[in-house]
Amino acid sequence: MALPQRKTDIGPPHYKQFLPPVIQKNYGKWKYHEVINPGLMVHVGESGDKLWTVRVASPRILSTTTIREHCDIAEKYCGGFFRYTTRNNVEFLVSDEKQVEPLRKDLTARGFKMGGIGSGISNVVHTQGWVHCHSACTDASGLVKAMMDELMPYFESKRLPNKVRLAVACCVNMCGAVHCSDIAVVAVHTKVPTIAHENFKNMCELPTVIGSCPTRAISPDPANKSVKINAEKCMYCGNCFTVCPPISIKDPERDGIAILVGGKVNSLRSNPKFSKLVIPYISNEPPRWPKAVAAIKHIVEVYAKNARKHERVGEWIERIGWERFFSLTGIDFTFQCIDDFTFMRDTMRTSSTFKW
């Protein structure tokens, strides 16, 4: 069968055609919204029109079968209109209040999970992992599934002082805003890469490889027509491997994950913050990463017990002090927690005032 005529540089379709009539009518004229429960909110327009949003969990990796099921549901209750969120949840947009409960019942019957709105835990921003990435040192989807199975009550019903944004990056490239999350998991290498010198000259550019190293650990190795890596300077970031395939850094027994906490992206109350390292290493334990999951759940629970209403994890820790965070959580403080890369000047304590 002949293919249709291709077109170039047309860009995406105009979004207006995908907006339900209630949004077209109240576009830019919304008055307020209320969170009815973690899976349901209502937006009210200046016109008095109402739009109910039912939010549903998604594993982000979706088969076309499931996307078609989303379509079936949207056609039945929402005139065919729905959307996905920046955290990869599905949102069904309902303009007729009478459709809300039947939709929720149907979703429950089909096994969909509603939640993620407001002061709880929403979907986890994450990367591809072993499913589809060349530089992954763990599986992101697997970790997310294991974490969220355990944290499900905070998605569906249980409330926290404020939202807790979770993220998983399967390597330090960190696709997505992993480095500014309340609790971030990042997979790390822990060993100096090895180099297949015989392939270097055919596959790699010397200046690019040397330039890829943030700690200047790479220098030319003329005898081998390759490079050498100074083991005392290498911090195992893997950027050299990204630009030069003969460099190998994966190690099944040594690759693992680190946990960082206290980041946020909004400017509410306090400025956006990076997440900071608290647990430097936990072994990769597929398929369910039990120690990593337990650590995350523990941090969420200590936060829930100690933070004031509206405080994000990072704001709570800044109020009580990092020394108190480590004592409350019982997490061992290690050398890895002290910055020796680019932020030491800003992160060491410069006063004699602290808590015990």
Partner 1 sequence: MKKYDTPLIDELEKGPWPSFVTEMKKAAKNNEMANDAVGHLEKCFRTKVGYWKHGGIVGVLGYGGGVIGRYSELGDEFPGVAHFHTVRINQPSGFFYSSAALREICDIWDKYGSGLTNVHGSTGDLVLLGTKTDALEAIFAEYSSRGWDLGGSGSALRTPSCCIGPGRCEWTNYDTLDLNYALTQEFQDEIHRPMFAYKFKIKMSGCACDCVASIARADMSIIGTWKGHIEVNQDEVKNYAKNGMDINAEIVNMCPTQCISYDGKELKINNAECSRCMHCITRMTKALKPTGERGATICIGSKAPIVVGSLLSWVIVPFIKVEPPYTEVKDLIRKIWEWWDENAKPRERIGEVIEMKGMRSFLEGIGQTPIPQQIKEPRKDPFMFYTEDDMAAFKAKEAEEKKSGKYKF
Angstrom CA distances, 346 to 165, 322, 341, 342, stand at: 25, 14, 11, 9
Q: Quick one: which segment of 189-197, 218-226, 252-260, 297-305 binds partner 1 (CB under 8 A)?
A: 252-260
**Contacts of partner 1 in 281-300 (CB under 8 A):** 284, 286-288
Task: Choose which of 105, 110, 132, 349 interacts with partner 1 (CB under 8 A).
Answer: 132
Q: Quick one: which segment of 94-102, 178-186, 321-329, 330-338 binds partner 1 (CB under 8 A)?
A: 178-186
Tell me the two tokens of residue 139: 């599986």
Query: Least Å distance between CB 218 and partner 1?
Result: 12
Rounded Cα distance between 132 and 84, Å, is 22
Letter string b/e over residues 320-354, b meaning 16 or more CB atoms within 10 A of that residue's CB: bebebbeebbebeeeeebeeeeeeeeeeeeeeeee
Q: Quick one: which segment of 174-182, 191-199, 222-230, 328-336 binds partner 1 (CB under 8 A)?
A: 174-182
Residue 19 interacting with partner 1 (CB under 8 A) = yes
Peptide bond connecting 214 to the previous residue in cis, omega within 30 degrees of 0? no
Task: Choose which of 267, 350, 352, 353 interacts with partner 1 (CB under 8 A).
Answer: 267
Closer to partner 1 at the Cβ: 252 or 330?
A: 252
Task: Choose which of 47, 131, 323, 334 interacts with partner 1 (CB under 8 A).
Answer: 131
AA letter at 203: M
Query: Least Å distance between CB 61 and partner 1?
Result: 4
Are 138 and 129 spatial neighbours (Cβ–Cβ below 8 Å)? Answer: yes
Give the Cβ contact number of residue 91 at 10 Å. 19
Radius of gyration of the chain (CA): 24
List of residues 6+ apart from 327 with CB closer than 8 A? none
Are 117 and 55 spatial neighbours (Cβ–Cβ below 8 Å)? Answer: yes
Give which of 118, 90, 104 is closest to 33, Cα–Cα: 118
Are 311 and 317 spatial neighbours (Cβ–Cβ below 8 Å)? Answer: no
Closer to partner 1 at the Cβ: 174 or 328?
A: 174
Task: Choose which of 100, 114, 117, 146 interacts with partner 1 (CB under 8 A).
Answer: 146
Give the Cβ contact number of residue 64 at 10 Å. 7
Residue 161 interacting with partner 1 (CB under 8 A) = no
List of residues 6+ apart from 308 with CB closer than 8 A? 161, 316, 319
* # residues near partner 1 by CB under 8 A: 120
**Contacts of partner 1 in 301-320 (CB under 8 A):** 309-310
Closer to partner 1 at the Cβ: 211 or 220?
A: 211
Q: Quick one: which segment of 95-103, 128-136, 222-230, 320-328 binds partner 1 (CB under 8 A)?
A: 128-136
Q: How far is Cα of residue 3 from the mean position of the Cα atoms in its chain?
A: 39
Closer to partner 1 at the Cβ: 209 or 329?
A: 209
Query: Least Å distance between CB 46 and partner 1?
Result: 9
Residue 158 interacting with partner 1 (CB under 8 A) = no
Q: Quick one: which segment of 28-36, 94-102, 322-330, 347-355 binds partner 1 (CB under 8 A)?
A: 28-36
Residue 145 interacting with partner 1 (CB under 8 A) = yes
**Contacts of partner 1 in 218-247 (CB under 8 A):** 237, 239, 242-243, 245
Query: Least Å distance between CB 318 and partner 1?
Result: 12
Residue 96 interacting with partner 1 (CB under 8 A) = no
**Contacts of partner 1 in 36-75 (CB under 8 A):** 43, 51, 53, 57-68, 70-72, 74-75
Give just the sign of the alpha carbon dihedral 184, 185, 187, 191: positive
